[in-house]
């Protein structure tokens, strides 16, 4: 029993050390770089009877989705109960498939996080940089350290859902060692 406990503790220590020393996620710029983009992000909505996790959200979009009014960016404050989620037709039980591009003005190491209410899986430049699979008040995801190899446009693909109550969706980014700031709407295109 003592040997099993010692082995388990050693495995946990190795896993934690590996996670803490992990290299930043390297983002891949769009290739080719897009031109003539419209401002904001494209969005498709589904309105399931209920949605509790990312698997159900993904299924809802596959079953039936409709194009919504584009998002101005990713700075949607926490709503009051009853206010519509993002640019959708409803306040609750909303799934959004969001895509387009985000422009990074400077290369380097950056930290990215999201505030979300409820679930989110955000991919930028081929890497998952934000994830929360469940319900929560407007709160942050775990911060991701990313490497932006060059200035330019990077593909964005987000799965988001809102179940009950209020809704929010924000993206923040900052250079390594600096406080993340809200991403301005002008940084997004589709």
Domain ranges of the chain: 25-189
Average the pLDDT over 123-152 and give the result: 94
Report the predicted TM-score, pTM, of the whole model to 2 decimal places.
0.85
**92-96, 114-118, 120-124: the lowest-pLDDT one:** 114-118
Instruction: List pLDDT tens digits, range 8-26.
Output: 454 444 444 444 457 899 9
In the chain, what are the helix, strand and coil shares in percent, each to the nearest 5?
Answer: 15, 40, 45
Q: Fold for domain 25-189? A: Jelly Rolls (2.60.120)
- Among the residue ranges 12-16, 24-28, 85-89, 182-186, the one predicted with the least confidence is 12-16
161 and 171 Cβ atoms separated by less than 8 Å: no
Token representation of residue 3: 């040997």
Determine the Cα–Cα distance for residues 158 and 64; give it in Å rounded to an integer.
17
Indicate the pLDDT class of residue 3, thresholds 50, 70 and 90: low
């Amino acid at each position: 029993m003592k040997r099993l406990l010692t082995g388990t503790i050693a495995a946990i220590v190795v896993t934690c050390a590996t996670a803490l020393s992990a290299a930043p996620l390297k983002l891949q710029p769009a290739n080719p770089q897009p031109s003539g983009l419209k401002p904001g992000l494209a969005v498709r909505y589904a309105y399931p009877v209920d949605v509790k996790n990312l698997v159900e959200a993904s299924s809802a979009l596959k079953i039936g989705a409709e194009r919504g009014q584009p998002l101005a960016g990713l700075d949607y404050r926490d709503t009051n109960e009853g206010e519509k989620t993002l640019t959708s037709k409803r306040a609750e039980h909303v799934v959004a498939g969001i895509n387009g591009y985000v422009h990074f003005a400077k290369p380097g190491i950056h930290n990215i996080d999201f505030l979300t209410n409820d679930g989110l899986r955000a991919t930028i430049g081929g890497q998952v940089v934000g994830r929360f699979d469940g319900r929560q008040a407007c709160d942050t995801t775990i911060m991701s350290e990313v490497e932006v190899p060059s200035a330019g446009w990077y593909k964005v693909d987000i799965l988001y859902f809102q179940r009950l109550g209020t809704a929010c969706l924000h993206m923040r980014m900052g250079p390594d060692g600096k406080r993340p700031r809200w991403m301005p709407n002008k940084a997004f295109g589709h």
